[in-house]
Amino acid sequence: MYGKIQALNNVSFSIPPGSVFGILGPNGSGKTTMLGIVMDVLKPTSGSYSFFGQPATAELRKNMGTLLETPNFYHYLSGERNLIIAAEIKGKGKDDIDNVLRRVNLFERKDSRFSTYSLGMKQRLAIASALLGNPNVLVLDEPTNGLDPVGIAEIRDLIRALSAEGKTIIMASHLLDEVEKVCTHVAILKKGNLLVDGAVDEVLVNEDIVEVGAMNLPQLITVLQGMNGYTNMKNNGKLVQLFYAATTAPLESINRHCFNQGVVLNHLQLKKKSLEAKFFELTN
C-alpha cells in the first residue's frame, strides 16, 4: 500500500539466474514500486522477497547494480566524483571507474559537473554506476529513458553483451518492443497485479493470421474445417481468420486446398499480429 493506493497486490514470481528478465507494464502499473521494495527504499505492508534464496540485506545490494527510476547523483559533483562515492558505498575500488565510464561513452565528460549533463548522459552515468564492481545482477528500471535512438541501440547492445557474460538482468520497461528485443523472460503487470510471467517466446507468442474470403462463406468454412495446421478459426461475417504460429502460415496450400475442394477464394491475406496488439490484449 502506498498511501491510499494499493500499488501492488500479490505479485509473485521468481527470476531464473542468467536470464534477462523484463518487467513489463503500462505507466503506473507498479514496476518501480516493486523494485523500490526489493531495494529497501519503499516499505511494503506485507510480503517477502529474497535474493539468491537469502533474505535481502544491504550487503547483497552492494553486489547488485541498480538504476531505479531516475539517475540520482550529487548535482554539484562531477560524473567521476559521483561514481567514486557510489564505488565507496559498494565497497569496490576506484579502478573500475574509468572502465565503466568508457563502456557507456561518458569518459570524455567525466570531469564535468553532473548538473551540466544532458538527460541521456545522466542516464548513461546511472548505468555506469550500476556496472561498478562488475556485479552479477543488474536491475535496470527503464534504462533507455531519455536516450536518443543511437543511445538506445547502444544500451540494448550493452545489455545483450552483459547477458552473454552470464549476468542476470532485471529490466523494467513500458516499451514492449524493448522487452521483446532484449529479454528472455517477462512478467507483465497491470495496476499492481501480475497478469502473466514466463519465457518471452511463450508469453508474447507471435501469431500469423490469414484472412480468407469467398462468395459462399459457409461452404468456405466447411472446406477449411477439413484442413489442418491452424490453431484457431474465427468468422467475422465477411471473412474467415485462421491463426497460425508465427511464420508458419502456408498461404499456397490454403489456396490449393480450397480450389481443389471447389471453392474459389476472392480474398487471401497474411496479417502479422503486432506485439502491440498482444500487449493491449493482455493489459486491457
Partner 1 sequence: MLQLLKIEWLKVKNYRTFWVLSILYLVSIFGSNYIAWLVWDSRPKKNSDVNMLVGNPFKFPDVWHVVSYTSSFLMFMLGLLMIISVTNEYSYKTHRQNIIDGWSRRQFVGVKVLLTFIISIAATIAVILTALAFGLFEDASLFSFEKFEFIGYFFIQALSYSAAALLFSLLFKRSGISIGVYFLYTLILENMLAGFLNRYFDNVGRYLPLESTDNLIRIPVFKMIINQFTASYNTTLLLTMALIYLALYIFLSMRKFETDDL
User: Could you list the residues that contact partner 1 (CB under 8 A)?
Assistant: 2, 39-43, 57-59, 61-63, 66, 68, 70, 72-77, 81, 84-86, 88-91, 129
Distance of closest approach, residue 97 Cβ to partner 1, in angstroms: 13
C-alpha cell at 97: 571507474
Sort strands 54-55 and 50-51 into parallel, antiparallel or unpaired: antiparallel
Of residues 130 and 158, the one with the C-beta less far from partner 1: 130
Distance of closest approach, residue 36 Cβ to partner 1, in angstroms: 8
Distance CA 137, CA 183 (A): 14
Please name the residue ranges forming H helices in the chain. 31-38, 58-62, 79-90, 96-103, 119-131, 149-164, 176-182, 200-203, 217-225, 251-260, 275-283
Distance of closest approach, residue 3 Cβ to partner 1, in angstroms: 9
**SS3 label, residue 155:** helix
Distance of closest approach, residue 228 Cβ to partner 1, in angstroms: 54
Distance of closest approach, residue 137 Cβ to partner 1, in angstroms: 13
Distance of closest approach, residue 105 Cβ to partner 1, in angstroms: 22
Ramachandran bin of 98, using left for φ above 0, alpha for ψ from -120 to 50, beta for the remaining angles: alpha
Distance of closest approach, residue 168 Cβ to partner 1, in angstroms: 17
Of residues 47 and 198, the one with the C-beta less far from partner 1: 47
Of residues 73 and 244, the one with the C-beta less far from partner 1: 73
Of residues 13 and 76, the one with the C-beta less far from partner 1: 76
Of residues 29 and 78, the one with the C-beta less far from partner 1: 78
Give the DSSP per-residue string, 42-78: S--SS---EETTEE--HHHHHTEEEE-SS----TTSB
φ/ψ (deg, to 5) at 45: -70, -40
Residues contacting 131, CB < 8 A, separation 6+: 65, 96, 100, 103, 104, 138
Of residues 85 and 246, the one with the C-beta less far from partner 1: 85
Q: What is the CA angle 68-279-1, rounded to 5?
A: 45
Q: What b/e readout covers 136-153, taking b as 16+ CB neighbours within 10 angstroms?
A: bbbbbbbbbbbbeeebbe
Of residues 17 and 91, the one with the C-beta less far from partner 1: 91
